[in-house]
Amino acid sequence: MKELSGKLILALSGGIDSMVLSDLLLRAKAEFVLAHCNFHLRGDESDGDEQFVRDYASQNGLTIYVKHFDTLNYAEEHKLSIEMAARELRYAWFEELRQQLNYDYIAVAHHADDQLETFFINLLRGAGIRGLKGMQKVNGRIIRPLLDVPRAEIQQYAEEHHLQWCEDHTNAETQFLRNKIRHELLPVIDGISKEGRSAILKSINHLASENELYRELLKEKLPTSNCQLSTVNFQLLFEWLRDYGFNEDQVHFIHEALNSGQPGTSFFSPTHRVTIERNGLELTPICQQNATPLELSYEQITNDCSFVMDTSNRVAQLDYEKLTFPLQIRKWQAGDRFHPLGMKGSKLLSDFFVDRKMTNRQKEECYVLVTADDTIVWVVGRRIDDHYKVTDKTKTILKVQIV
């Protein structure tokens, strides 16, 4: 298969799908290593899966990399479902490992039934064509060699070749949306039509093809900086503004204001402003993304009994040993999150702004001080992150001041 060329990292969970893909790669004499995630969500069963794949790698002379995650804590901190948290963690690590090894692709064992389940998940969430087009066989560095193969054929292959695999008992639990679709919805479709699954997969392929055409045609229709129409189709407006940081809800408000004639009204994303003018919409950047008018001074101070904390909003006093350097200052971005001093848990910066009743102008002028790994330590002039506060255990303080 063409998708199997190059050096691969195979995401191996120990389940039947990834074990079949691993067997196929071995038979094809592909150059690949294994990557296993232990999310610590099923107690001893998770550790048993890890031992199983380690033994499999040893028996077959394969290199294996294993990563442990505190998935529950990550999900809570980032206010994500367990499924989404695990997805973010594994794909971020897979890409990090791929770059570290200088490999070509990350192979995952998604199959045709996964494609169907994903389609219905997105359908129930109100997705448009972009969400309904399904997963792609090749998506950047991610490849899915089994995407056209039904689960039943994978089961048959595993049994015929006497493969061993791990069973995840949570796959049978229907409190998860994906499992509800797998165990309750798809059997109903089977009862309606024997060709139901293949027909839906055909529709997904049509949607993927139509999405490609749609994206090409959009390039001819989308404005650059200004839209000179007094009224405009909502979908066209959304496709234009989404790349500038505006979400769907904002675009609904913009569309409504445009069609009802409200000149002078402005809407803001983290990077751009849209203003309704008499002859249409004007789009302007609110700041260069990496430019800042702020200048900060830095001073190291020994934390002793004579030290007095400065509570000015223009000063941040941080635990020096907890910081990773170099520090940088940048414009805040959508999705930025930090743990405000004195509060429990993390918070989206956008929610922090709402809590403090900040105006659009104040948001526009907000910058953050970040560590070398882009972790926020100070919302400049507003609040430091609780993790970097000075305590009685702090030995050295970094005093940062707006000049």
Residue bearing the bigger pLDDT, 287 or 397? 397
User: pLDDT digit string (tens) for 253-262?
Assistant: 888 888 777 6
Which of the four pLDDT bands, split at 50, 70 and 90, describes residue 27?
A: very high
CA 75 vs CA 79, 151, 278: distances in Å = 6, 29, 46
The token pair at 278 is 């008499």
Q: Who has greater pLDDT, 364 or 141?
A: 141
| Token couple for 182 | 């797998």
Higher pLDDT, 126 or 55: 55
Longest alpha-carbon distance in the chain:
80
Instruction: Determine the pLDDT at residue 97.
Output: 94
Residue ranges, comma separated, of all CATH 3.40.50.620 domains in the chain are 2-109+145-172
Integer angstrom CA distances of residue 10 from 113, 135, 212, 244, 322: 20, 17, 28, 35, 35
Whether the CB-CB separation of 93 and 9 falls below 8 Å is answered with no
pLDDT score, position 289: 39
Q: What percentage of the chain has pLDDT greater than the value 90?
A: 51
Fold (CATH) for 296-402: Phenylalanyl-tRNA Synthetase; Chain B, domain 3 (3.50.40)
pLDDT at 224: 63
The phi and psi torsions of 328 (rounded to 5 degrees) equal: -135, 155
- The span from the CA of 377 to the CA of 78, in Å, is 17
Please give the average per-residue pLDDT across 287-314, as a whole number: 66
CA 44 to mean position of chain CA atoms? 28
Residue 243 Cα distances to 224, 238, 239, 247, angstroms:
11, 9, 7, 9
Residues of the chain with CATH 3.50.40.10: 296-402
More reliable by pLDDT, 218 or 210: 210
CB 301 within 8 A of CB 399: yes
Contact between 274 and 225 (Cβ < 8 Å): no
* Mean pLDDT, range 274-299, rounded to an integer: 68
Does residue 173 have a pLDDT over 90?
A: no
* Range 302-315 average pLDDT: 71
**Residue 307: what pLDDT?**
59
Kindly state which CATH superfamily the domain 2-109+145-172 is placed in: HUPs (3.40.50.620)
**37-46, 228-237, 328-337: lowest mean pLDDT where?**
228-237
Give the model's confidence band at 175: pLDDT under 50 very low, under 70 low, under 90 confident, else very high. confident
pLDDT at 106: 96
Position 166 pLDDT exceeds 70: yes
Instruction: Using pLDDT thresholds of 50, 70 and 90, give the confidence band for residue 288.
Output: very low
